[in-house]
Amino acid sequence: MSDRPAFGPVLAAYACHPEESRGRRIAEPETSNRTVFQRDRDRVVHCRAFRRLMHKTQVFVPHVGDHPRTRLTHTLEVSQLARTIARALGLNEDLAEAAAMGHDLGHTPFGHAGQDALNACMQDYGGFEHNLQSLRVVDELEKRYAEFPGLNLTFETREGILKHCSRNNAETLGELGERFLNRLQPSLEAQLTNLADEIAYNSHDVDDGLRSGLIDVEALSEVDLFREQYDIVRGRYPQLAPRRTIHEVVRRLIGCQVIDLVETSAARLAGAAPADIEAVRYHAEPLISFSESMREKNLELKRFLRTRLYRHYRVHRMTSKAAQTITALFHAFLEDPRLLPDDAYRHVQEMETSGGDSGRARAVADYIAGMTDRYAIAEYDRVFNPAI
């Protein structure tokens, strides 16, 4: 363990230490009362893109009551899990939280349906990757500070936000793209945040699917991970009301995955004994992982959700409408940018000047990706409904 001063718990040697950060894209003085990663977290929380997550859906499913999960609630859930896992492993909680808070900033309206539609629209212009868009939001699109564009986050937080990236795009990212080109590993905090995201969305899609009636307990009992926890709950609490039963099962779904992840990762770290963060980066494979048994159970749950929830005909009807909305808006704005609000139109002009047709298309994608679900629906009406 490190004996260097720290804000909070003592960090392991292989954690990301704030005083050893690779720094920000544009140098600026740091403060004495917050680490660089705490400042990153705070900048994300106070930006517009973060607030918009409140009205962006996680999975675009039919109405499930007055408390559906959104990108914001999902982000908070991922952040809580990431902090818990980081603390258990002696890693940097603040960095894990900052990456978790920023990981979905680039998501489109209408969940994955919106992302797929926008990616299809952008095929001739470099495609659309929501992870890369999240990075674009914090690097360029947020306009808050006088001395730099974006939020000017540290390398480590930006690395945690960029979970995936195509090789072509990685070649344009300089130091941040090196791990994708050279097959290096990201920080342990980035690795655990990625898996915290996976735990959160799988477990909570189960909850939303059950509450919406799109899937049922009988069908889910085909999945080992669910059935094991469900049998435990029913055995201990046979008289428990259905809603509380499901909550108890989902709580345990999350708990057993977190425990497995922490125990497996702790054993891997003990075996590899990386001396520092650089040893982590050059390790042959990620050091934060589930056990093989839990990985298989996770894959089974993912397959179930993909075939029984995400492809349910009621979900497909919603996602089809979402795709039509995104596609129609994209082509209308690309053909006639004067349909855009003034700020978005100026962005198109700037991007077109420097990047031609691809720049124009990217600026339109920036505008659409930044929309909330309800704003996209309202914008569709404003553009195509003659009565408005």
Digit-by-digit pLDDT tens for the chain (388 residues) are: 344 444 556 899 999 999 999 999 999 999 989 999 999 999 999 999 999 999 998 765 555 555 667 899 999 999 999 999 999 999 999 999 999 999 999 999 998 889 999 999 999 999 999 999 999 999 999 999 999 999 999 999 999 999 888 888 999 999 999 999 999 999 999 999 999 999 999 999 999 889 888 899 999 999 999 999 999 999 999 999 999 999 999 999 999 999 999 999 999 999 999 999 999 999 999 999 999 999 999 999 999 999 999 889 988 888 899 999 999 999 999 999 999 999 999 999 999 999 999 999 999 999 999 999 999 999 999 999 998 8
Residue-level pLDDT at 315: 87
> Which pTM value belongs to this model?
0.93
Question: Which residue is associated with the tokens 């990620």?
Answer: 286
Whole-angstrom Cα distance, residue 111 to residue 120? 15
Q: Helix or strand or coil: residue 95? A: helix
φ and ψ at residue 115, rounded to 5 degrees: -60, -45
What DSSP element (H or E) covers 82? helix 71-88
Residue-level pLDDT at 166: 86
- Which domains are delineated in the chain? 18-25+34-315 (1.10.3210.10)
Beta strands in the chain (DSSP E): none
Residue-level pLDDT at 93: 98
Residue 312 sits at the vertex; the CA angle it makes with 379 and 375, to the nearest 5 degrees, is 10
What DSSP element (H or E) covers 249? helix 242-272
Residue-level pLDDT at 164: 86
Q: Helix or strand or coil: residue 57? A: strand
Residue-level pLDDT at 380: 97
* Contact status, residue 22 vs residue 175, Cβ threshold 8 Å: yes
φ and ψ at residue 356, rounded to 5 degrees: 65, -145
